[in-house]
Chain A
Amino acid sequence: MSEDIVAVDVGGTFTDICVLRRETGELRVAKVPSTPNPIEGVVAGVAAAGIDLSKVALFSHGTTVATNALITRNFPPAAMVTTKGFRDVIEIRRGTKEDLWDAYQDVAPPPIRRRHRFEVTERVDYSGTVLEPLDEEGAREVARLLGRRGIETVAVCFINSYANQDHELRMREILEEELDGVLVSTSSEVLPEIFEHERFSTTIANAVLQPLVGGYIRDLESELKAEGYDGDLVILHSGGGVMTPETADRWAVRLAGSGIAAGAIASRHIGQLCGFENTIGFDMGGTSTDISLVYEGEARTTNEWSVQYGYPIRFPSIEVMTIGAGGGSLAWIDEAGALRNGPQSAGADPGPACYGQGGTEPTNTDAHLVLGGLGKELIDGAMSLDPAKAEEALRTRLAEPLGLGVTEAAAAALSVANANMADAIRLISVRRGYDPREFALVCFGGAGPLHGAALARELSIPTVLVPPNPGTTSALGCLLVDIRHDFFTLLLGTTDQVDAGDVEAKFAELTEQAMERMRAEGVAPDAVELSRTIDMRYAGQWRSIAVPVDGEITSLDDVARTFEDEHEREHSYRHEGSPIEVYRLNLRATGATQKAELARHERENSMPEPVARRPVHFGGEDIDTPVYRRADIPAGATFNGPAVLEQLDSTVVVPSGSAVEIDEWLNIRMSIEEAE
C-alpha cells in the first residue's frame, strides 16, 4: 500500500530527506552528503531514511541541478538562431556590471558562444506586422550548419516575436524537419513578453538546460523505478509549485532556482500551521543566509532575478535574498579600525577556529561558543568544539586590537552580524512597504535558531518560530506544494482605453492554455484553481504592480482603485488623477497534489529536567542558563528564557524575557519582548 510521501531536496552540500507517513502524519528526516552525480545522493538518502519505495505514493524533488549547470556552464552543444543583425543581443545584454567600481570584475560570458549564434533574415515590427518575411532557404542553411556542428538544442529568438510568433514557429518546424531529435525552444513560447534581452536570455537558459534536465529526470525516474517505485514524481520549480517530469522536460528553465524556493515554501507552511499568514523566512547556514517573505499566505515572487548576473530569467520566482552571512562568517577589523562581519567565510576548511582544523580567524560560531550559546559538542557529541581556540582567535584578532575583553569582543562580533542580517530583512520587508511587526520570523538552517531571537528583537518582530528539524526544513518545503503554473500575456493601454471585454477575452485564452497544461499534468479540471492578477502602473512609470482581480471584470475602474491602494501601500503615495496603465495579464493555475497532514502531538503539561546548565551571555551579562535536549521537550510545554535547546542539527537560544510554547507540531513559538 502507498503510505508515504517523500521529499528530497538536493543542495550544494547536503541532500535532505523528509518522509511523511500519510496515515499518522509522522515525519522522519535524514541528511546525507550531496554527490557529484546528485542521483547517487538521492538514492543514498532514500536508503538512509529507511524508505521502502514500493510504499511511496508521491516523490517530490527539489534540485540544484539546473542552477549548478547555469553556473558551471557544463552544457551539451547548444546554438541560437536569431534575427539578422541581432546575434549579440545576448552578449551586449543591458551592458551593466554587477560591481560598479571594480574594473577587474567581469560579467560572465553568454551561455552560448558567438560562433554558435546564427542569423536568419526576417523581421516583424512592434505591432506584429511582417516587415521582412522569413528567408526559408536561409533557415534551412542554418539548420544544415547546426547539423554539421552536432548541435542538440537550439534557442530561436526573433525580434518582436512576442507580438507575432509565426516566424519563430516556422523556424522551429524547419529545424525539426532538418534535424533529427533536435530540441527547440522558441522565445515566444518560453516567455511571450516584450524586451528582447530578457526574453532571449530566458529562452537560451531553457535551451541549454533542456537536454540536461530531461536526462536527469529520466535517469532519476529509472533509478527510482529500479528501486521499486511506481508512484508519481514531481519536481519543485522556482515559482514555488511543482510540475511533472513531462512539463519539466519542456520548460527546463523553471527548475533554475528550484532549491532556493523550498525554504521559502517551508516557512510559509510552518507559519500557516501556527496561524501566521505573514512570515519572514530566515534560513542561516554555514556561509550564507537566505531570506524570504510571505504576505497574506503568499510567498513574495519576483520576475527580476538571475542565476548569474546579466542573464535574467523572467519567470515569476519566489524572491529570496541571499547574503554572505553564516556561522562561518569571519569577524575582522579593517584598515581603518572598523569591526566588520563577513562576507568572507572560513568555509568548511579550515572552518571556525573552534573546529580545531587550523582556522585562526574568529567566526560567528566561535563567538557563540565563547558566549555560551553553543555548547562544547555538536551533533549529539559527534563533533567537539574547542573553546580555547575560539578564545584565542577572538582575543588576538578582535579583543586586543579593540581594547576589549574576549567576551565583549565576541558579543560585538555578533552584534555586527545581527545588524547586517537585520538590514537585509529590512530590504526585503520595510523597503517593500511591509512592517516587520506584522510578521513572524521562521528560523531554520543550522545557525538560524541561534540568531532568531536577537534579530526579532532588533526588528520588533513579536514572534519567532523554530520548526522541529531546522536543518532539514527546506526539504519539508518540497513536501507539501501544489502543481502550479504561471501564464501571462501583454496588454498595453490606459484603463480608460482598455476594454473590459478584451481583458476577459485574453484571460479566457490564458485559461484555456492553463487548463490544457493542467490536464497534461494529470490534474482534473475541477481540481484546478485559477487566480488572476493584472500588472498595472501609472502611465509613464516603468515598473508595475500585480493587482489581484477576483471574478469577471466588467469595468476597469475598480481594478484601478485597487491599484492605487496597492501603490500607496508599497510606495507610500498615490498620484491622484494621473492616468493608469494596464501592462500584462497574469494567470496562475494551481492543482492540489496528494496531501497529508503533519502529525499533531498530544499536549503534555510537563517539562523535562535540563541536561546541563552553563553561563550564557545575554544583554551584557552572563546568566546561568538551563540546557535542554529538544527531543525531550513535549508538545504543550511552556517555559521562559533564558534557555538553550540543543538538537541534532541546530541549537536554539531563548533569551531571558522570552516566553516559549511548544505547539502540537513541536514547533517552538517564542514571544519576543520589545527592545527598549
Chain B
Amino acid sequence: MTTGAEQAGGATAEQTLDPVTLEVLKNSFVTIVDQMAEQILRTCHSFVIYSRDFSSALCDPQGNTIMQGSQDIAVHVGTLHLTAQAVAEAFEGEMRPGDVYMINDPYVGGTHFNDVRIVRPIFHEGEVICLAESNGHWADMGGSVPGSFDVSARDHFGEGVRVPPVRIYDEGEYRADIVRMVTSNTRAPADAEGDCLAQVEATAVAEREILRLCDKYGHATVVAAFKEVQDYVERLTRKRVADLPDGTWETEDYIDFDPDEPEGLVPIKVKMTIDGEVVRYDLSGSHPAVGTFLNSGYGASFSGVVAGTKTFFPDVPLNSGFYRALDVDLGPKGSCVNAAWPTAVTGFCSGPYEKIMNAIFELWSEVMPERAMAASFNLEYLLVGGTDTRNEGESIFMWYDWMAGGWGGRNGKDGSNATSPVFGVGLAVQPLEGQERLCPVVTTNHEILPDTGGPGKHRGGCGVEKGGTLTEMTKSVMSYCCDRARSVTWGIEGGLPSYPHGVWLNRGTDSEQFLGAVFSNVPVKTGDSFIRPSAGGGGFGDPLERDPEIVRDDVADGYVSLERAAKDYGVVVREIDVELSQYEVDTQATEAERERIRSARHGWLAEDPESVAERYRADELDLLDVLRRHGVILDWGTGELLERTTEQFRAMLERRSSRHWAAAGA
C-alpha cells in the first residue's frame, strides 16, 4: 500500500491567514493537545497510560492530524489520523453533537488492541469542524494472557477484543451498555471504564478550548487554520528535505526468527530515496508475516517510518503535513510490515516497529552524519500474571514490566545509558516499590549491566539487568515480548554489537532455563526466580580508536570491565588502588594489544562457527567473545550453533562493522 506524498496536493495551497493569527492558532492547538495529555495523566487508571503510553490529537473532519501532543509516545505518531479517518468514514453523515466514539482496530490503522482510541466530533455552527482523539494503552484487553500480549497468538482472536468504530456517547447520553460490553471482556473492567472516562473527558477539554477559539477568532478563521497549520508543517518539511542531496540508500534489519521456518533471521528491508522535496520509503521485499505476534499492520509500520524520520527533524511539529512530505510504500499485503486481518499483530512494537525505526536511523546517519546513531536496544515487556495469594483473598495480579536500555553510540558522543526505548522515549520505567505493593514479585536487582554497551570509538549506552523472585502466587504464567536475542543490537561505522536479550528462569540452579526473547504462558510458581538484561546500544566507530583514558574512566565507574577493556578496546588498564577507584592505562601494552587485535580480528570473524560454538560449550569462550569477536550466534542456553543465522549476522557485521576498520599497521 502507498500512503503519504502522492495523495497530497503538495504545498502550493493558498494561505489566507496572516502570519500572526496562524502562529497564534498553531500554538493554541499545541496547548490544547497538551492540555488533553495533562488531563489524562491526572485521571487515568492504567499504569501503562500513566507511564506515558498515550497520545492526543486534533484531526480535521477527514481525519488528517492538525496537531499531536508534544510529549506523545513515538509509537502512536502517524497512526491517529488513520483511526480518525476510520471513525469519520463509519459515521459519515451520522455524527451529532455530544457523540463520542471508540475504536482500537489495528487493521484499519490502529496499533494493537490495547491502544483504545476515543474520538469526539467537535461541532460549531451546525457542522463538524474537527475531531478530538485520545489514545491510551489499557492495561488489559482480554485475550488469552494477562495484559493481552500472547506471543504465540496466530491471529487476532487469541489477542484481545477488537473494537470497530462504535458510538459510546449518543448526543451526550453515555452508552454504558456498549462500554461494558468491551470492558467486561478485560481482566480489570473497573479500571478499563475509568480509563475510558478519563479519555472521554480529555476530548471534552479539547472541545471547550476549540469552541473558545471559534468564539474569539470566528468559525472561518479557525477552520482555515486547521488546514493551514498542516500546510505550514508540510512546507517546512519539504523545504528541509529539498536542502538535502538527492539519493537512494538501502539497508535491512532483522527479527530473530520465524517459528514457521527453519532458523534464520527475518529481514525487514528499507529503501529510502530523497527525491527533491519528498522522502520516499520502500519496504517491499520484507519477509512475509511470521508465526508469532511480531507483525505489524500498515498503521503501525507507517508510524515506524514517521517516527524514525522525525528523529532527524526534532523541531518540526507533527501533523499530517509532515506525513505528506513522505511517500511510503509498505509493499504487498501479507508481509510482516503490512499484515492483514486476522494476523496477530500485538507484538509489532518489539518486532517490525523497532527494526523500521533503527533501519531509518542508519539511513539518515549517512544523510546527516552530524546526527548519526547506531542501533538502540529493543523494546521489551515481561509479564507475570496469575493469582496473588498474599492477603487471604485471591486476586488477579499482572506484573507487567519494561526496562530502560542503552542507546546507540553517536558521532562524537557515547550512547545514553539506561534510557527508555526509542519506541517511546516518554515510556517511564515503573518504580519497583509500587510494583511490590501490587504484586507478589520481589525485585532482586535493578542495575546497569557492565559491558553491555556496544564497543565503539563512541560506545553504545549500557543496558540494565533486572531480576526477581516470585513470592506468594498460584496459577501464574510468564510471557515475554521482546526480540534481538539473535539479531543483536548492532553498531555502525565499525562499531560492535551490544548484548543479546533473553530471560533466564532460576539461573544458577539445577532447574536453570534460558527462555529466549519471545515466549508466552510459561508456568511459574512461588520460589522461582528470573533475571533478564536489556541490551545496550550498538557502538559507533572502530573501538580500537577509542581514547584509552575514556576507557579507563569507564573501568573506574564499572561501565566496562577490566577484562573487556582489553578484549573489546585493546586498552590495557592496570589497577592502582581499587578502593580509591584509581586505575591507569598501560600505554605500551595497549599499543601492542591494539596492533594484535587489528591483525587478528578479520580472521576471528572467519573462524569455523561450529568450533566457536564448541569452545563456548566448553567454557573456553564467553558469550561476548562469541558474539563480538567471532560474529557467531548460538542458542545462548544450549550453546547450539545457529548456522543460517550466523551466516546472516556475519554478513551484517561485515557491512556495518569490519568493512570500516582500518588495516593493521595503519
Binding site for B on A (CB under 8 A): 84-89, 91-97, 99-107, 113-116, 123, 125-126, 131, 145, 148-149, 159-160, 162, 194-198, 334-340, 402, 412, 415-416, 419-420, 423, 426-427, 430-431, 492, 538-543, 570-573, 575, 578, 675
Q: Across the interface, do B557 and A115 meet the contact criterion of CB distance under 8 Å?
A: yes
Q: Is the CB of A334 within 8 A of B44?
A: no
User: Is the Cβ of B442 less than 8 Å from the Cβ of A92?
Assistant: no
Q: Does B522 contact A (CB under 8 A)?
A: no
Residue from A95, A126, A431 within 8 A of B404 (CB atoms): A95
Let me know if A85 and B444 touch, CB within 8 A.
Answer: yes
**B235, closest chain A residue (CB):** A336
Q: With A86-B447, A103-B373, A542-B47 in contact, is A570–B42 under 8 Å at CB? A: yes
Known: A101-B314, A427-B31, A573-B197. A195 touches B434 (CB 8 A): yes
Enumerate chain B residues within 8 angstroms of A116, measured Cβ to Cβ: 581
User: Would you mind naming 29 contact pairs between A and B with Cβ atoms under 8 Å apart?
Assistant: A85-B444, A86-B445, A88-B418, A88-B446, A88-B447, A91-B448, A96-B52, A96-B428, A100-B72, A100-B425, A101-B314, A101-B315, A101-B425, A106-B416, A116-B581, A123-B442, A125-B442, A126-B437, A145-B579, A196-B432, A338-B236, A340-B23, A423-B28, A423-B30, A492-B437, A570-B42, A571-B42, A573-B201, A578-B190
Partner pick for A540 among B194, B426, B442, CB 8 A cutoff: B194
- Asked if B612 lies at the interface with its beta carbon under 8 angstroms from chain A, I say no
Least CB distance from B586 to A in Å reads 20
| Set of chain B residues within 8 Å of A101, measured between Cβ atoms | 310-311, 313-315, 425
Query: Which chain B residues border A100 with CB–CB below 8 Å?
Result: 70-72, 74, 425-426
Q: Which residues of B contact A (CB under 8 A)?
A: 18-20, 22-24, 26-28, 30-31, 34-35, 38-39, 41-45, 47, 50, 52, 70-72, 74, 188, 190-191, 194, 197, 201, 204-205, 209, 216, 232-233, 235-236, 239-240, 310-311, 313-315, 361, 371, 373, 403-404, 407, 410, 413, 416-420, 422, 425-429, 431-434, 436-437, 442-448, 464, 467, 556-559, 579-581
Other A-B pairs beyond A96-B427, A100-B425, A116-B581, 12, CB < 8 Å: A95-B404, A95-B420, A100-B71, A100-B74, A102-B314, A123-B442, A159-B432, A340-B23, A415-B24, A542-B47, A543-B42, A572-B204
Cβ of A541 and Cβ of B23 under 8 Å apart?
no
Find chain B residues with CB under 8 A from A105 CB.
314
Residues of A contacting B216 with CB < 8 Å? 675
B418 touches A91 (CB 8 A): yes
- Asked if residues A572 and B433 are in contact (CB atoms below 8 Å), the reply is no
- Assuming the contacts A100-B71, A402-B19, asked whether A107 and B416 have C-beta atoms less than 8 A apart, the reply is yes
Contact A336 B232 (CB under 8 A): yes
Task: Give the residue name and chain of the B residue nearest to A427 (CB).
Answer: B31
Given contacts A92-B448, A95-B428, contact A336 B236 (CB under 8 A): yes
Q: How far is the CA of A336 from the CA of B319 in the complex (A)?
A: 15
Check B413–A104 contact: CB distance below 8 A: yes
Instruction: Give the chain B neighbours of A337 by CB distance below 8 A.
Output: 19, 232, 235
A143 to chain B, nearest CB (A): 12
| Shortest distance from the beta carbon of B366 to any chain A beta carbon, whole Å | 15
If the complex has contacts A85-B445, A100-B71, A578-B190, are A125 and B43 also in contact, measured as CB distance less than 8 A?
Answer: no
Q: What is the distance, in angstroms, from B19's C-beta to the closest C-beta of chain A?
A: 4
- B69 and chain A: residue at smallest CB distance: A100
In the complex, the chain A residue whose C-beta lies closest to that of B447 is: A88
Q: Residue on A with the closest CB to B390? A: A127
| Closest Cβ–Cβ distance, residue B467 to chain A (whole Å) | 8
Instruction: Find out whether the CB atom of A104 lies under 8 angstroms from the CB atom of B410.
Output: yes
In the bound complex, do residue A92 and residue B407 qualify as a contact, i.e. CB atoms below 8 Å apart?
A: no
Instruction: Select A571's contact among B201, B310, B403, B426, beta carbons within 8 Å.
Output: B201
Q: Are B418 and A92 in contact (CB under 8 A)?
A: yes
A338/B26 in contact, CB under 8 A? yes
Are A335's CB and B240's CB within 8 A?
Answer: yes
Q: CB-CB < 8 A to A145: which residues of B?
A: 579
Shortest CB-to-CB span from B242 to chain A, Å, is 10
Residues of B within 8 A of A196 (CB): 431-433
By a CB distance below 8 angstroms, the chain A residues around B205 are 572
Do residues B448 and A114 form an inter-chain contact, with CB atoms below 8 A? Answer: yes
Pair A420/B27 contact, Cβ less than 8 Å = yes
Across the interface, name the chain B residue whose C-beta is closest to A675. Answer: B216
Instruction: State the CA gap A87–B465 with chains docked (Å).
Output: 12
Among candidates B71, B74, B447, B581, residue contacting A115 with C-beta atoms closer than 8 Å:
B581
In contact, B418 and A541 (Cβ under 8 angstroms): no
Given A97-B425, A194-B433, A86 and B19 contact (CB-CB distance below 8 Å): no
CB atoms of A431 and B35 under 8 A apart: yes
Verify B434–A194 contact, CB threshold 8 A.
Answer: yes
Give the CA-CA distance A416 to B27 in the complex, in Å: 9
B442 and A131 form a contact (CB under 8 A): yes
Chain A interface, >50% SS class = loop
User: Which B residues are CB-close (under 8 A) to A93?
Assistant: 404, 418, 429
Whose C-beta in chain B lies nearest to the C-beta of A97?
Answer: B425
Q: Is A416 within 8 A of B24, CB to CB?
A: yes
Once the chains are docked, how many angstroms separate the CA of A309 from the CA of B169? 40
Q: How far is the CA of A377 from the CA of B557 in the complex (A)?
A: 56
Question: Closest residue of chain B to A570, judged by CB?
Answer: B42
The interface residues of chain A lying within 8 Å CB-to-CB of B30 are 423
CB atoms of A542 and B50 under 8 A apart: yes
Closest to B416 in A: A106
Which listed residue, A92, A131, A336, touches B239 by the CB 8 Å rule? A336
Distance of A94 Cα from B419 Cα, bound (Å): 8
Complex Cα gap A195–B447 (Å): 16
- A601 to B495 Cα, complex, angstroms: 74
What is the chain B residue whose CB lies nearest that of A193? B433
Tell me if B236 and A334 are in contact (CB < 8 A).
Answer: yes
Given contacts A113-B557, A114-B557, A125-B442, contact A541 B239 (CB under 8 A): no
Interfacial chain A residues near B27, Cβ < 8 Å: 419-420, 423
Q: Are A92 and B23 neighbours in the complex by a CB distance under 8 Å?
A: no
A131 CA to B425 CA in the complex, in Å?
A: 34
B446 near A85: Cβ-Cβ < 8 Å: yes
In the assembled complex, the CB of A574 is this many whole angstroms from the nearest CB of chain B, namely: 10
Return chain B residues, CB-CB under 8 Å to A149. Answer: 579-581
B374 to chain A, nearest CB (A): 11
B464 close to A88 (CB less than 8 A): yes
* Known contacts A88-B418, A115-B556, A416-B20; A430/B35 CB under 8 A: yes
Q: Indicate if the CB atoms of A338 and B22 lie closer than 8 Å.
A: yes
Q: Which residues of A contact B464 (CB under 8 A)?
A: 88, 92
Give the 9 A-B CB pairs with smallest separation, nearest first: A85-B445, A95-B404, A336-B236, A101-B314, A102-B314, A95-B420, A540-B45, A94-B428, A419-B24
Residue of B28, B236, B446 most packed against chain A (CB within 10 A): B446
Asked if B433 and A412 sit within 8 Å, CB to CB, the answer is no
Determine the chain A residues whose CB is within 8 A of the CB of B425 once the complex forms. 96-97, 100-101
Contact between A126 and B436, CB atoms less than 8 A apart: yes
Q: Which B residues are in CB contact (< 8 Å) with A125?
A: 436, 442
Known: A195-B431, A337-B235. A114 touches B197 (CB 8 A): no
For the complex, give the distance between the alpha carbons of A171 and B519 in Å. 42
- In the bound assembly, the distance between CA atoms of A337 and B447 in angstroms comes to 48
Interface contact A94-B314, CB-CB below 8 Å: no
- Nearest-neighbour CB distance to chain A for B548, whole angstroms, equals 18
Q: Which residues of B contact A148 (CB under 8 A)?
A: 579-580
A196 to B433: give the CA distance in the assembly, Å: 6
CB neighbours (8 Å) of B467 from chain A are 85
User: Whole-angstrom distance from the CB of B545 to the nearest CB of chain A?
Assistant: 20
Contacts of B26 in A (CB 8 A): 338
Q: Is the CB of A195 within 8 A of B557?
A: no
A295 to B238 CA separation, bound complex (whole angstroms): 46
Identify the interface centre among B24, B30, B39, B74: most chain A CB within 10 Å of its CB. B24
Which residues on the A side are within 8 Å of B38 (C-beta)? Answer: 427, 431
Q: How far is the CA of A542 from the CA of B38 in the complex (A)?
A: 13
CB distance from A482 to the nearest CB of B (A): 30
Question: Which residues on the B side are within 8 Å of A131 (C-beta)?
Answer: 442
Residues of B within 8 A of A126 (CB): 433, 436-437
Q: Which of B22, B28, B311, B558 contacts A103 (CB 8 A)?
A: B311
Q: State the CA gap A93–B606 with chains docked (Å).
A: 41
Q: Beyond A92-B464, A194-B437, A423-B28, is A338–B35 a contact (Cβ under 8 Å)?
A: no
